[in-house]
């Protein structure tokens, strides 16, 4: 006979407790995703407000706008794959959408780069002369490489790595590089605030963007499962 003091023997109580724990975990996850999304919304609105309340510089304006939109896609690609998959169908679908969102993010980031590069070229300004520029070019390069790496693991595992199992063993490096580059992208945005153009013209608030970027970065990093990085 089972007793309510002995949950191991009472499968109803045990499963109701498990459900409660799962509900709490889901609730915490949703809250974290909302914090990330609130940070993204504040970032995008702050940048749009700064750009459209000043004279538009045709080839500069797309740079901050498309970069912040790139971050929106990148953040959602990460949010989507953070909860461990609950079924093979979930795993396949979330992997596919993760790839599509990240491809979109990289297209937006590289278009943002082309616009600032062209803007500098037509004004005969030198390239990569600031910490923002240096962190930025490193972010673009790493994101593009991580995307190619992810596409190879997911869509061409046998061709590139010889077998599906071998390809899967590289996922942890893809994840580590992904979170490292997210950190670089976050720092790049903060460094952009110290550009002459922001300090003299746009005046985008350090405090508002600082809080938004911390919410985005913090919310995403807190969603990391350390065991999936291969350290534990
Ligand atoms: C993750 C987001 C971002 C990345 C990866 C990034 C990347 C870059 C890169 C690589 C350059 C140098 C281009 C060259 O020298 O040819 C640059 C320049 C610039 N960016 Fe960004 N950027 C980002 C976000 C922003 C934002 C949000 C602003 C808003 C103010 C901004 C403002 C500028 C300005 C004013 C320059 C010219 C001055 C300089 O080279 O530092 N960027 N960016």
Structural domains present in the chain: 34-229 (1.20.120.1770)
pLDDT at 26: 77
pLDDT at 25 over 90: no
pLDDT at 1: 37
Quote the mean pLDDT of the chain.
92
As a whole number, mean pLDDT of residues 57-81 equals 97
Per-residue b or e along 92-124, where b marks 16 or more CB atoms closer than 10 Å to that residue's CB: eebbeebbebbebbbebbbebbebbbebbeeee
pLDDT at 16 over 80: no
Q: The tokens of 42 are what? A: 């504040």
Atom of ligand 1 nearest to the CA of 185: 1
Alpha-carbon span 168 to 225, nearest angstrom: 17
pLDDT at 192 over 90: yes
Nearest CA to ligand 1 atom 33: 192
Least confident range from 62-66, 85-89, 120-124, 176-180: namely: 85-89
Give the single-character DSSP code of 123: T
Residues with CB under 6 A from ligand 1: 47, 63-64, 67-68, 113, 116-117, 120, 127-130, 132-133, 136-137, 139-140, 185, 188-189, 192, 195, 197-198, 202, 204
pLDDT at 9 over 80: no
172 CB-contact burial (10 Å; exposed 0-12 / middle 13-18 / buried 19+): middle
pLDDT at 23: 75
């Amino acid at each position: 006979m089972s007793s309510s003091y002995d949950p191991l023997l009472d499968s109803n109580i045990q499963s109701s407790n498990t459900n409660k724990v799962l509900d709490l975990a889901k609730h915490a996850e949703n809250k974290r995703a909302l914090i990330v999304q609130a940070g993204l919304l504040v970032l995008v609105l702050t940048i749009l407000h700064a750009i459209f309340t000043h004279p538009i510089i045709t080839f500069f304006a797309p740079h901050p706008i498309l970069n912040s939109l790139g971050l929106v896609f990148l953040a959602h690609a990460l949010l989507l794959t953070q909860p461990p998959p609950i079924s093979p169908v979930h795993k396949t679908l979330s992997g596919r959408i993760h790839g599509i969102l990240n491809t979109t993010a990289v297209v937006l980031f590289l278009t943002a780069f082309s616009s600032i590069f062209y803007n500098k070229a037509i004004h005969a300004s030198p390239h990569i002369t600031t910490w923002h520029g240096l962190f930025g070019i490193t972010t673009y390069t790493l994101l593009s490489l991580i995307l190619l790496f992810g596409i190879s693991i997911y869509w061409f595992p046998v061709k590139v790595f010889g077998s599906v199992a071998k390809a899967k063993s590289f996922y942890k490096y893809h994840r580590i590089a992904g979170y490292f580059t997210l950190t670089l992208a976050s720092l790049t945005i903060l460094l952009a605030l110290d550009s002459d153009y922001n300090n003299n013209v746009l005046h985008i608030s350090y405090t508002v963007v600082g809080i938004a970027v911390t919410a985005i970065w913090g919310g995403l990093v807190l969603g990391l499962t350390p065991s999936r990085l291969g350290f534990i």
